[in-house]
């Protein structure tokens, strides 16, 4: 049962189809899914908190400022605890609020604060559905990676006929499964991702590191997992939560990272997003190096670290079918990326500008170029999460038919 143990935050907006979410909750609970419900003010006209609480076996949340309910106040944490946010029914109003970043109640605030995939199940009158405003709002949301199931066509509660019926419960469950990876295009595939910096000791208290935050690598691990891959993330020290449903191996040095990567093989694909230190101190001191009057500062003798990407990409029976590297450059991005592709022997280089003015290191956004044997593909500026989702979908496509 791929859905067992997964956590869904179900947002119920004010549409007549809200009653169908009771059935949805029952079917999800049968599959071992934990469901937490958030009801909008309008939603509460169509379905009672009592029924939702009874079926979900969890408290139902309605108010952003309820003093008796710490869920609303800690909406950031609440939005992060779920693996997936499902909006069913998603009304024209809530879709519009999401598209324009409004956060004037608990549901819209949670949706804006979330960094998890969002699945919309729209339901509304056919004219509202077809209205250019609704379609334009949905196009904005699709561009941000928001998923959608339905609506279907048929007789609507308002008596009119046409598009706008909430997707049937089995259809919504299939979409949830796909969004959570159970039946995604990478189901059955093993993926290895490196992320974050490495730190190389000078002595027991000092080290050499770099500015990598791990945000891009962690987002890639999560996106591959969302498409169904079984993911091992080998990460240097970062200040990020572990991605959900991913095996995380924490390391410090480049040599530890290489050993952890090799232990995670075989894999179908490897994405090396870590900023690995090129050199380490040849002989780190066993004791803290002391300063003393008249003693000159120490000179550090460095030696080269192993190249993890080149090692994984080297021909051999253990080579993953797809090996992807990153090129973090401050100048001549594409030329350097092309040279790196050849030098490392990998299949694809994701090139990104990390000059201080780009804000890439530590920031939430990234602008990348994909450099492969087939040429260069420029992507627009996107959040790191969207770069990750788009890259995961691209890799799934490349792996298709590659048994």
Which residues are identified as catalytic?
A: 158
- Minimum CB–partner distance for residue 298 and ligand C5P (Å): 24
Phi, psi of 190 (to 5 degrees): -105, 130
For ligand C5P, the closer of residues 39 and 276 by Cβ is 276
- Minimum CB–partner distance for residue 194 and ligand C5P (Å): 6
3-state SS track over the chain: CCCCCCEEEEEECCCHHHHHHHHHHHHHHHCCCEEEEEECCCHHHCCCHHHHHHHHCCCEECCCCCCCCHHHHCHHHHHHHCCEEEEEEECHHHHHHHHCCCCCCHHHHHHHHCCCCEEEEECCCHHHHHCHHHHHHHHHHHHCCCEECCCEEEECCCCCEEEEECCCHHHHHHHHHHHHCCCCCCCCCEEEEEECECCEECCCCCEECCCCCCHHHHHHHHHHHHCCCEEEEEECCCCCCCCCCCEEEECCCHHHHHHHHHHCCCCCEEEECCECCCEEECCCCCCCCCCCCCCCCCCCCEEECCCHHHHHHCCCCCCCCEEEEEEEECCCHHHHHHHHHHHHCCCEEEEEECCHHHCCCCCCEECEEEEECCEEEECCCEEHHHHHHHHHHHHHHHHCCCC
- The token duo for 22 is 């009771």
- Minimum CB–partner distance for residue 363 and ligand C5P (Å): 18
For ligand C5P, the closer of residues 254 and 392 by Cβ is 254
CB 376 within 8 A of CB 370: yes
**In Å, what is the CA distance from 335 to each residue of 34, 253, 329, 349?**
49, 29, 10, 11
- The token duo for 188 is 């059955």
- Minimum CB–partner distance for residue 45 and ligand C5P (Å): 53
For ligand C5P, the closer of residues 278 and 397 by Cβ is 278
- Minimum CB–partner distance for residue 111 and ligand C5P (Å): 33
For ligand C5P, the closer of residues 94 and 313 by Cβ is 313
For ligand C5P, the closer of residues 138 and 221 by Cβ is 221
Burial of residue 251, with CB atoms counted within 10 A of its CB: 0-12 exposed, 13-18 middle, 19 or more buried: buried
**In Å, what is the CA distance from 152 to each residue of 149, 157, 167, 183, 299?**
9, 13, 6, 22, 70
Residue facing ligand C5P at closest CB distance = 308
For ligand C5P, the closer of residues 160 and 377 by Cβ is 377
For ligand C5P, the closer of residues 11 and 270 by Cβ is 270
Residues that bind ligand C5P (CB under 6 A): 194, 254, 272, 274, 276, 278, 305, 307-309, 325-327, 340
- Minimum CB–partner distance for residue 309 and ligand C5P (Å): 3
- Minimum CB–partner distance for residue 325 and ligand C5P (Å): 3
- The token duo for 54 is 């009874």
For ligand C5P, the closer of residues 109 and 213 by Cβ is 213
- Minimum CB–partner distance for residue 113 and ligand C5P (Å): 31
């Amino acid at each position: 049962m791929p859905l067992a143990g997964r956590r869904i935050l179900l947002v119920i907006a004010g549409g007549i189809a809200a009653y169908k979410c009771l059935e949805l909750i029952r079917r999800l609970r049968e599959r071992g899914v934990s469901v937490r419900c958030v009801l909008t003010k309008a939603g509460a006209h169509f379905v009672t908190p009592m029924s939702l609480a009874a079926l979900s076996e969890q408290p139902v949340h309605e108010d952003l400022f309820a003093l008796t309910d710490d869920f609303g106040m800690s909406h950031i944490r609440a939005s992060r605890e779920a693996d997936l946010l499902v909006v069913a029914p998603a009304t024209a109003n809530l879709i519009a609020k999401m598209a324009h970043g409004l956060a004037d109640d608990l549901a819209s605030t949670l949706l804006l604060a979330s960094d998890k995939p969002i699945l919309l199940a729209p339901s509304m009158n056919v004219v509202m559905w077809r209205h250019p405003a609704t379609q334009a709002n949905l196009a904005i949301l699709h561009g941000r990676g928001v998923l959608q199931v339905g609506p279907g066509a048929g007789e609507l509660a308002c008596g009119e006929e046409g598009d706008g019926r909430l997707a049937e419960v089995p259809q919504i469950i299939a979409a949830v499964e796909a969004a959570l990876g159970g039946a995604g295009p990478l189901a059955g595939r093993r993926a290895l991702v490196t992320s974050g910096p490495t730190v190389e000791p000078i002595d027991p208290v000092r080290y050499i590191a770099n500015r990598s935050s791990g945000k891009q690598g962690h987002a890639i691990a999560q996106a591959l997992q969302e498409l169904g891959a079984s993911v091992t993330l080998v990460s240097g020290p970062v200040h990020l939560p572990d991605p959900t449903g991913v095996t995380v191996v924490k390391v410090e040095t480049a040599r530890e990272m290489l050993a952890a990567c090799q232990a995670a093989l075989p894999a179908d694909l490897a994405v090396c997003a870590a900023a690995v230190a090129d050199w380490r101190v040849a002989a780190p001191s066993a004791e803290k190096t002391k300063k003393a009057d008249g003693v000159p500062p120490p000179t550090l003798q460095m030696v080269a670290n192993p190249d993890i990407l080149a090692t994984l990409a080297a021909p051999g029976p253990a080579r993953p079918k797809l090996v992807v590297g990153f090129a973090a450059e401050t100048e001549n991005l594409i030329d350097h990326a092309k040279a790196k592709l050849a030098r490392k022997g990998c299949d694809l280089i994701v090139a990104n500008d990390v000059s201080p003015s780009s804000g890439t290191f530590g920031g939430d956004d990234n602008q990348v170029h994909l450099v492969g044997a087939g040429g260069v593909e420029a992507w627009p500026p996107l959040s790191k999460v969207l770069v990750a989702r788009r890259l995961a979908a691209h890799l799934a496509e490349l792996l298709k038919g590659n048994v």
